[in-house]
Structure 1
Amino acid sequence: MIVRISIALFLALAPVNAFANQCPTMMAAIDAALPNASLSEADMAKVKQLRQQGEQLHQSGDHTGSEASLGEAKKMLGL
């Protein structure tokens, strides 16, 4: 019985963990692209703000919001 509960709990939490791990990958891609990005000052500031917002949301546990923010930054960078 305990094994079944453990397996059920693992399966229930596995997608959350997989989703949470996507945020750091997205942040790393943004960080790698920033030095070579050819954006206006305003767009560069916006990308950096979205990147910071994404990290803060990730740290607070809002992975959906984090992915949305980071996804917008990646789109602006052409990633």
Structure 2
Amino acid sequence: MDWELAACRDHDPELFFPVGTEGPGAEQLTAAKFICGTCPLQAACLRWALDTGQEAGVWGGTSEEDRRDMRRARLAGRSLGVSA
């Protein structure tokens, strides 16, 4: 994957690692997700974050909580015999 094409490459990396989910942290999260929404690598970035277990930061337009929910849903689907 050519990360040089990523929309985040010209932004401060700290933007993608907000501290907290309220106040300034919420504003950072919104800004980071907006940038991800413009990125041609958004889907690949999200896949990478899920495959490598990234627990911190915004990856592929998702927050830590978003990815936790995705992992839970994926595990629940497997336990029910549903392919995800």
- Higher RCO, Cα 8 Å, sep 6+: 1
Pair member with larger Rg: 1
- TM-score scaled by length of structure 2: 0.31
Q: Which has the higher helix share?
A: 1
